[in-house]
Amino acid sequence: MWAHQEVNSLPNGWQKLLPSSNHLRGICILSLSENRWVPQRAAQSLSESRDRAVTAKLEGKMRRYLEKVRQNVSAGTEKKLFNSLPVAYHEPLKMAIAWARRRNQVPANHMGEDIFYIMCIRFLVPC
């Protein structure tokens, strides 16, 4: 059975309790930021399953999210990444964008703000 069929077969009201795909994207980006952008470690820390297939699927999803961030940074369209992403995950996404800029060696439009933000995170100074 497909995932959307399983969700549709839930009793009324239960669908609202499940996280949206945008929440999952945010959770994955947060986990990646906490695990130094290593998808394997991030997937293992997030997955409560001992099933390798589940962890591998989550890892693949994280790799695709990181690749999407890198593509948007290269194209200069990183603002699109914030579309429909819950506000709680905007800071980890900003960190992912900074990570992608370093990897892609793409200069930031507001590099001073990014450096300030990275310094705040690195030294745990409230911004």
The answer to whether residue 7 sits within a structural domain is no
Q: How far apart are CA 127 and CA 119, in angstroms?
A: 9
Q: List the domain range (segments joined by +) for residue 38.
A: 18-122
Q: Which amino acid is at 70?
A: R
The answer to whether residue 9 sits within a structural domain is no
Average pLDDT, the chain: 79
The answer to whether residue 36 sits within a structural domain is yes
The answer to whether residue 13 sits within a structural domain is no
Residue 18 or 55, more confident: 55
List, for residues 85-101, the tens digit of each pLDDT value: 999 999 999 999 999 99
CA 17 to chain centre: 20
Tally of structural domains, the chain:
1
The answer to whether residue 3 sits within a structural domain is no
User: What is the 8-class DSSP label of residue 87?
Assistant: G
List, for residues 12-49, the tens digit of each pLDDT value: 555 555 568 899 999 999 999 999 999 999 999 998 88
The answer to whether residue 5 sits within a structural domain is no
Residue 100 or 127, more confident: 100
The answer to whether residue 6 sits within a structural domain is no
